[in-house]
Structure 1
Amino acid sequence: MNTLDSITNFFQILPTIATAGQPTAAQFEAVRETGFEVVVNLAMSNSDNALPNEVGVVTGLGMNFVHIPVVWTNPTPGDLAQFFAVMDGNRDRRVFVHCALNYRVSSFMYLYRVLRLGVDEEAARWDLLSIWEPDERWSTFIAEARQSAAKAATTNENRSFEQ
């Protein structure tokens, strides 16, 4: 019997959001049976354990599928913006987000929770570190995303004072 806990690095962040590594076709059935409506894949289609025709498997089970292929060695602000837009657009739905091992996802989810949902940074970091400790490239990406968001917030505050 496949359960969500059988999926590599499965982590339930909120009742409406769960993250994991790459599920099998049978595990996607468990995702659907648990009430998830949207599947977001941040892995590349040619990842070592990618599921052939994942879009067909997921949509065949009645779930929506979104693919944001994030290059492991080069996550970009554009990837993150696209992820934020998908998550923001599905706040009223149950969303299952995965990549190959839940490393990309846990990093993006950390940023989403801190920058968009206003979750305490320490709590979000604790959850991130329960999955993995980001390497230098990913630590730099996370720090740059937080700095960019802080700079944008300061710029917006200054604009409101000028008006």
Structure 2
Amino acid sequence: MLQSITRYLPVTDSLATAGQPTEAQLADVAAAGFEVVINLALHNDPRYSLADEAASVAALGMRYIHIPVQFSTPTLPDLKAFFDAMEQVGRRKVFIHCAHNKRVPVFVALHRIAKQGWSEAAALAAMRDAWQPDATWEQFIAQAIAGMPLSPR
């Protein structure tokens, strides 16, 4: 059951976000029709990662994209990799997660501003419904938005 995944949040019919799912929960993700799993967490902490998530996701017939974002030091290249991944995903149903669904709302909000025409205010309000970023992440958000070409404000 998807609602049992840590901080699961259905965003649209084709996008959901969450914290780290278990192996059994990944099967629920596949059963719900998701085609792609994007993981923004690291693989180095067994409390917040699976032994071989890429293999587990592939065995369930989904595509796996891993963009390891250091929680304490998110970077613009991380964000660009996420934008590239979202472009590759296209209109497929995508499940995006990290350890606690904190990195993900920020990256989704910035994608909405840069690539989907959302206003900064609307995208950041939706992000804050999911998570209130700390100072490090607020600085990252400001840096990312400042570098966007004429994004709607």
TM-score by length of 2: 0.93
Question: Alignment partner for residue 14 of structure 2, among 7, 16, 35?
Answer: 16
Displacement of 1:123 in angstroms is 2.8
- Alpha-carbon distance between aligned partners in 2 of 1:121 and 1:6, rounded to the nearest angstrom: 31
Which consecutive aligned stretches of 4+ in structure 1 deviate over 3 angstroms post-superposition? none
Between the aligned partners of 1:10 and 1:116, the Cα distance in structure 2 is 24
Q: CA deviation at 1:92?
A: 1.7
CA separation in 1, counterparts of 2:147 and 2:121?
Answer: 19
Determine whether 1:148 maps to 2:121. Answer: no
Distance 1:56 1:65 in 2: 9
Q: Considering only aligned residues, what root-mean-square deviation do their CA atoms show, in Å?
A: 1.3
Match of 1:33 in 2: 31
| Greater per-residue helix proportion | 1
Task: For residue 109 of structure 1, report the CA deviation from its aligned partner.
Answer: 0.6
5+ residue gaps, structure 1, are: 155-163
Whole-angstrom CA distance in 2 between matches of 1:57 and 1:94:
18
* Aligned position for 1:71: 70
Residues 1:61 and 2:66 aligned together: no
Identity among equivalent pairs (%): 43
- The CA deviation string for residues 4-30 of structure 1, in whole angstroms up to 9 with x for no partner, is 111111111111111100000010111
Q: CA deviation at 1:121?
A: 2.8
Taking the TM superposition and a 5 Å limit, the aligned residue runs for 1:1-163 are 3-47=1-45, 48-149=47-148, 152-153=149-150
Aligned residues: 150
Structure ID, larger Rg: 1
Once the two structures are TM-superposed, the CA of residue 124 in structure 1 deviates from its matched residue by: 2.0
TM-score by length of 1: 0.87
Distance across 2 between alignment mates of 1:116 and 1:4: 27
What CA distance in whole angstroms lies between the structure 1 residues aligned with 2:5 and 2:126? 17
